[in-house]
Amino acid sequence: MEQSMEPILGGNTQNTRAVGESLVVIEVRKQLYLAGPLIAGCLLQNVVQMISVMFVGHLGELALSSASIATSFAGVTGFSLLSGMASSLDTLCGQAYGAKQYNLLGIYKQRAVVVLTMVSSVVAVIWMYTGQILVLFGQDPEIAMGAGSYIRWMIPALFVFGLLQCHVRFLQTQNIVLPVMLSAGVSALNHVLVCWLLVYKLGLGNKGAALANAISYLTNVSILALYIRLSPSCSSTWTGLSKDAFREIPSLLRLAVPSALMVCLEWWSFELLVLLSGLLPNPKLEASVLSICLNTSSLVFMIPFGLGAAISTRVSNELGAGRPDAARLATRVTMILGVITGTSVGLLMVLSRNLWGYAYSNEGEVVGYVARMMPILAVSFLFDDLQCVLSGIVRGCGRQKVGAYVNLGAYYVVGIPAALCFAFVYHLGGTGLWFGIMCGVAMQMLLLLSITLRTSWEKEALKAKARVV
């Protein structure tokens, strides 16, 4: 285990302070080096579905609300599940890389691909009956049938999305982030052209926008796969296909299942807002506006998501290498960065509130409603920013089971009941739904902060050593 700074420096307070400051600066640089490309990469990956919804939004209000409900249902039942299970690689690959067990990274990635492909096959069957399921849950039949048609054309994207998540995590945990950003950029630019061709030139409408997601995800994962195969940077971590990928799948599931629950419980609560909005008076307006708010929140969320990915990598690498003091320092630095980004982005959201709605709709009623919601989103984002970086710390430690319990309590004991109360008891509509979920985010942040401050980093380093042996 690494010694603390004071004994190393022989007790000289001035020298200790100077070295401490230099270590903080070094850590800030490391995190910004990771977070910058990861934020850009996450934004560009997220913008794919956002662009599809924007194209559909200009086809009419019914098309927008149908695509919005379909995207929410896809997030609830598919994308959140795959993203959550893939996040188990944050722990496994990150700690193995820190421990210099490089051969394990390729095996972990292949094992995750096998598991996620099997899960995708089950989810695809559910997606085939989306329209009927939505009607069963009381959604407007016209919107539900449109959503069912849209999501069936998204099934190819489901399988490619799982592959993409595994490749991104594999590179990210090795501190290889520039290729992730560049491949996402190429895919996002390609997506605009693909959407235009499928939606307008070929006349597929909203179905073309759904299918375009698969094409862009495939472009992204193909670029990353080629990089992994050809780059010298991955020569020690990727040694080709291995039969070991089909072994010890239960050991992966023991971490992947709580990882999925941790992500899904949070993701589901936000997507549930759009589904609940369909039960409000004037459901087409409420669903459209809540979807825009959710898309906006998801877009800016990529900033703390990138920070969370960076701190997850830093913590897992340092714990795997047996350096608990470095992991402790990394957590303190990232919390400060989280406050700075949360405040800055929230202010920008408030300043742009009167213009943002036009990106999704030309309807004055929709644009005005979005403008009223933006200040609420700004406050919610500050809490969400902080909880996201704290969640990254939890993943880096491999404590996803604890994170799952936190999210269960925060969102389903506090957030969702509060949202139902504000929206349907006090008749605050979509605004009330978001007020309620904001209460859940605040509770989640406070619980994760308490857990992080009480973490024994020495014990976590010992657990990491045992995990990768």
Mean pLDDT of 168-189: 92
Cα 405 off chain centre by: 18
Assign 45 a pLDDT band (cuts: 50, 70, 90).
confident
**CA end-to-end distance (rounded Å), the chain:** 16
Calculate mean pLDDT across residues 190-194: 90
**In this structure, what token pair is assigned to residue 408?**
């269960």
- Per-residue pLDDT at 13: 53
pLDDT in tens, 325-377: 999 999 999 999 999 999 999 999 999 888 888 887 778 888 888 898 889 88
Highest-pLDDT range among 63-72, 131-140, 316-325: 316-325
- How many whole angstroms separate alpha carbon 131 and alpha carbon 62? 15
pLDDT confidence bin for 319, thresholds 50/70/90: very high
pLDDT at residue 16, rounded to an integer: 55
Residue whose tokens read 């957030």? 415
Report the distance separating Cα 226 and Cα 203, nearest Å.
33
Contacts of 257 (CB under 8 A, 6+ apart): 85
Kindly indicate the confidence band of residue 446, based on its pLDDT and cuts at 50, 70 and 90: very high
What's the pLDDT at 81? Answer: 92
More confident residue, 357 or 387: 387
More confidently predicted of 59 and 409: 409
- Count of residues for the chain? 469
pLDDT at position 79 over 60? yes
Evaluate if residue 468 carries a pLDDT over 80. no
Query: Distance (Å, rounded) from C-alpha 441 to C-alpha 411?
Result: 7
Buried b (16+ CB within 10 A) or exposed e, 3-12: eeeeeebeee
Q: Which two tokens stand for residue 151?
A: 């999501």
In this predicted model, what pLDDT tens digit does every residue of 129-165 receive, in sequence order? 998 888 887 777 888 888 888 899 999 999 999 999 9
The whole-number pLDDT of residue 331 equals 93
- pLDDT value of position 18: 53
> What own/partner pairs with CB < 8 Å and gap ≥ 24 does 252-256 have?
252/88, 252/92, 252/108, 252/111, 252/112, 252/115, 253/115, 255/88, 255/91, 255/92, 255/398, 255/400, 256/84, 256/85, 256/88, 256/112, 256/115
Residue 301 has pLDDT above 90, yes or no: no
pLDDT band, residue 95 (cuts 50/70/90): very high
- Segment among 62-71, 84-93, 298-307 with least mean pLDDT: 62-71
Q: How confident is the model at residue 46 (pLDDT cuts 50, 70, 90)?
A: confident
Measured CA to CA in angstroms, residue 318 lies from 130, 282, 283 at distances of: 44, 52, 49
The pLDDT value given to residue 291: 75
Q: What is the pLDDT of residue 469?
A: 64
C-alpha R_g of the chain: 22
**Cβ atoms of residues 164 and 183 within 8 Å:** no
**What's residue 388's pLDDT?**
92
Residue 2: which pLDDT band, with cuts at 50, 70 and 90? very low
If one compares 233 and 290, the residue with the highest pLDDT of the two is 233
**Other CB atoms within 10 A of residue 38 CB:** 28
- Looking at residue 237, its amino acid is T
Ramachandran area for residue 363 (φ above 0: left; ψ -120 to 50: alpha; else beta):
beta
What does the pLDDT read at residue 3?
40
Q: Do 180 and 171 contact (CB within 8 A), yes or no?
A: yes
The Cα 441–Cα 297 span in angstroms is 13
The pLDDT-based confidence of 249 (bands split at 50, 70, 90) is: confident
Higher local confidence (pLDDT), 93 or 251: 93
Residue 9 confidence class, pLDDT cut points 50, 70, 90: very low
Integer CA distances (angstroms), 309 to 138, 169, 221, 393, in order: 37, 9, 18, 9
Q: For residue 14, is pLDDT > 70?
A: no
| Euclidean distance between CA atoms 333 and 319, whole angstroms | 16
Whether 106 contacts 242, CB under 8 Å? yes
The number of beta carbons lying within 10 Å of the beta carbon of residue 121 is: 11
Task: Encode pLDDT of 449-467 as tens digits.
Answer: 999 999 999 999 999 888 8
How far is the C-alpha of 56 from the C-alpha of 71, rounded, in Å? 12
Eight-state DSSP code of residue 281: S
Mean of the per-residue pLDDT values of the chain? 86
Mean pLDDT computed over 204-226: 90
Cβ(123)–Cβ(161) under 8 Å? no
In 327-358, which positions are buried (b, 16+ CB within 10 angstroms) versus exposed (e)?
Answer: bbbbbebbbebbeebbeebbeebeeebeebbe
DSSP state of 4: P
Give the mean pLDDT of 275-288. 76
Name the burial class of residue 44, with classes exposed (0-12), middle (13-18) and buried (19+) by CB atoms within 10 angstroms of its CB.
buried
Read off the pLDDT band of 15 (50, 70, 90): low
